[in-house]
Chain A
Amino acid sequence: MIRHLGILAAAAATLAVSAGVQATPPPVVHDWVIQSDAIPKKLSEFGFFQDWRGREPSMDVVPYRLNTPLFSDGATKLRYVYVPSTAKAESDGPGLLQLPVGSALIKTFAFEEGDDLRYIETRVLLHRAEGWVALPYVWNEEQTEATLALAGARREVTTPYGERISYRVPNKNQCKECHGLDGAVTPIGPKARNMSAQWLQSFLGEVPEGADTLPMWEDRETADPAAAARAYLDVNCAHCHRQGATASNSGLDLRWENDDPHGFGINKRPVAAGRGSGGLMFDIVPGDPEASILVYRMASDEPGVAMPELGKGTVHEEGVEVVERWIAGMPAK
């Protein structure tokens, strides 16, 4: 496999360069690595972090959170956005932040072990001239470096709920299953509507119209049940369940902004659910969560039935509850 060796050789060369500066950790991000067409073998080659353990972000690597986050088997997530100092992020109303070429999104998935966080994987999205590129990096046992894992990986972890599971790191193609829209890779998370106004003010210098409208996940008990559920479905499902994305053929559109009740599942029959239907007739039966396929699939951890199909090995009980409460509160026919 000549090509494979080629990549290794290129990676080794880059590594040798970075080894030269090992004594003083890089304080700035390596823009040339983000903007080249290289597929770095090690996460450290980007210089996103000051330390080899990936705990201290470099200059201009800005942490952020989402009001309602994606559930990933209970992993703690550390999210960062990087924009080169020569460029500027723009807003697009309530939608995705418009990050210029050279930007990166960095997301580490970790599980608590005692007082420490054990890093499992760090996923990066790089905005290159030809578009966004998604790469998965897996941390070693010693927690000293993260290595490219094109084919993904599995790791034994204990979730915050005490469940011992085989956690799945997605492969490079699977990145696109969620991040693909109209054939191109795109970020999903940093939408202004799902971020705090304060953070946006500081990051963009403005608060875009329609920003900060999704409820905070911590406030789900007191939030409007429809808003809490629709926010959850938007964040956890709508990257596939929309036009132009992986589950477009289902006809189910779970985006926050979709206001067609049939489109988001009310009295909608399944299309290609197979045994995922669980013997039920409709995605959502108003007033009857137990008769709703949406709930049935969210509450399953069985491959072929479970939704989401990727990035989930356990049932998110709180997520199921939010959706159940919403459906139960709908007036029955």
Chain B
Amino acid sequence: MIRTLMAATALATLASPALAETITVAPGDGAQDRLQEALILAEPGDEIVLEAGRFELTDGLSLDADGVTVRGAGMHASVLDFTGQRGAGEGLLVTSDGVTLRDFAVENPQGDGIKSKGADDIVYQGIRVTWTNGPAATNGAYGIYPVESTGVMIDGCEVSGASDAGIYVGQSSRITVRNSTARANVAGIEIENSRKAIVERNFVTENTGGILIFDLPGLPVKNGGEVLVRNNLVANNTTANFAPKGNIVASVRRGTGIMVMANDIVWVGQNLIYENPTAPIMVIAYPMAFDDPEYNPYPREITIDWNETDEGGTDPQFEGAEQLLAAFGGVLPPVMWDGLEETPDGGTLMVHPDMKGWSVNLPAQGKGIESANPGPLDAGLIGQPISIEGWGAPEALEARLK
């Protein structure tokens, strides 16, 4: 093989960068096979370039080679169009490490948009995933979907129309989601069963719920936590929930801004949170029964620093909302807590003194809101700063950004 010979020569001269190949793929006839074949034959360091235009695809694509870059001519120029997809659970599946995806779009995948599973040190930059018909239960679940990975950088991406979460990071660690737009999904951005995540400078709008930090039982990777949510604009998340029932996000109420469920050590601060009329900020325990002895359903060490919000829950989507509104003078204060703690006064929730809140005061985990005894927020005051050293995507991923 010529390549092997090239490798031998390169080793001799120590000129290894010359090894990387650029493989250009154009749209048009046979795009499915030509692109898939390029993805299969790619070797570490190679760059697959998607020319501008619309690639009409009939099947899911997959990449399983380490250290490969796939880049297009821009998120509105190079479009992988899966409208006619007949098989596979996602548009593009990445299962290798050190991959960079940049400057292209995925439209109308039948399942998820781009899934990267067990794909460490992945960069998504300038990627767009769109279901062009707008919110619909028939759309795929996740737009950008890294899972079971260490080292995830999502920067400057756009996702809309996902029937679960636009940008979803699950069962992963060392995560950064920033400078991205999540519009008209059920959940805008969701960090689930993950650790050491930074979610910052995103625009999260017209979803059912804006930013969700969840920890769920029964998964191989659990005990989510160490999540920083700062400097995001979370506005007008008032789309009716269109998630298929059974999924956890189907229970998210329209008008939820930033929601923390279970998890330990989450810091929410310096966000602008407007027009999320159920609750600008919500902190709750996992609300359902569960059968997982290793799972902790309570939030622990959650800090709500100062955030700029409007007056709060003006149109909460709860049973008994009218009485609630009446009790709080027509609007629910911005920070909502279900009042559940692992241990009483155990440092569950700490809130900036200028942030107003209320407590549902549920009697026990797993009880519905009908058993609530609403009252003023009785949380701790914001305490010591936390260290975020080692949170977010590793430095090496920053270096791959253009």
From the candidates A6, A152, A272, A275, name the one contacting B2 in the complex (CB within 8 A). Answer: A6
Query: Are B248 and A243 within 8 A (Cβ)?
Result: no
In the assembled complex, which residues on chain A have CB atoms less than 8 Å from the CB atom of B245? 277, 279-281
Is the pair A309, B40 in contact by a Cβ cutoff of 8 Å?
A: no
Taking a contact as CB atoms under 8 Å apart, the answer to whether B244 and A277 are in contact is: yes
Q: Mark A220-260, 1 if CB is under 8 A from B, else 0.
A: 00000000000000000000000100101101000000000
**Quick one: CB contact mask for B28-56 with A, threshold 8 Å, 1 for yes?**
00001110110111010000000000000
Q: How far is the CB of B19 from chain A (nearest CB, A)?
A: 11
Residues of B in contact (CB 8 Å), total 61
Stretch at the interface among A18-26, A103-111, A168-176: A168-176
CB of A272 within 8 A of CB of B218, answer: no
Per-residue interface assignment for chain A, residues 268 to 300, with 1 indicating a CB less than 8 Å from any chain B CB and 0 otherwise = 111111111111111000000000010000000
Q: Is A303 an interface residue (CB 8 A)?
A: yes
Task: Say yes or no: is A177 at the interface (Cβ < 8 Å to chain B).
Answer: yes
In the bound complex, do residue B247 and residue A277 qualify as a contact, i.e. CB atoms below 8 Å apart?
Answer: yes
Complex: chain B residue closest to A307, CB-CB: B89
Residues of B within 8 A of A150 (CB): 36-37, 40-41
Considering only CB atoms, which chain B residue lies closest to A180 in the complex? B95
Whole-angstrom distance between the alpha carbons of A94 and B247 in the complex? 36
With A and B bound together, what is the CA distance between A175 and B143 in angstroms? 24
> Is B226 part of the contact surface with A, judged by Cβ < 8 Å?
no
The CA-CA distance from A153 to B87 in the complex, in Å, is 12
The closest CB in chain B to the CB of A293 belongs to B246
B315 at the interface (CB under 8 A from A): no
Residues facing A in B127-179 (CB within 8 A) are 137-142, 145, 147-148, 163-164, 168, 170-171
Say if the beta carbon of B344 comes within 8 Å of chain A. no
Kindly list chain B residues whose C-beta atoms are within 8 Å of the C-beta of A281: 245-246
With contacts A152-B36, A168-B86, A176-B64 taken as known, whether A248 is within 8 angstroms of B148 at the C-beta atoms is yes
Q: Are A269 and B246 in contact (CB under 8 A)?
A: yes
Contact segment of B111-119, B303-311, B372-380: B111-119
B87/A274 in contact, CB under 8 A:
no
What's the minimum C-beta distance from A148 to chain B, rounded to whole angstroms?
Answer: 10
Using a CB-CB cutoff of 8 Å, which residues 176-202 of chain A contact chain B? Answer: 176-177, 180, 183
- With most chain B CB atoms within 10 A of its CB, the pick from A152, A246, A278 is A152
Q: Which residues of B contact A (CB under 8 A)?
A: 1-3, 6, 21, 23, 32-34, 36-37, 39-41, 43, 58-59, 62-64, 85-89, 93, 95, 109-112, 117-118, 137-142, 145, 147-148, 163-164, 168, 170-171, 216, 218-221, 243-248, 288, 291-292
A173-B39, A251-B218, A270-B247 are known; give 7 further A-B pairs, CB within 8 A.
A1-B21, A1-B23, A6-B2, A153-B33, A174-B88, A176-B64, A274-B140
In the assembled complex, 24 residue pairs joining A and B whose CB atoms fall closer than 8 Å, in A order, are: A3-B43, A4-B41, A7-B1, A150-B41, A171-B62, A172-B40, A173-B62, A173-B63, A243-B220, A249-B148, A249-B221, A251-B220, A268-B218, A269-B218, A273-B141, A273-B244, A274-B164, A275-B141, A276-B141, A277-B247, A278-B246, A303-B89, A304-B109, A313-B87
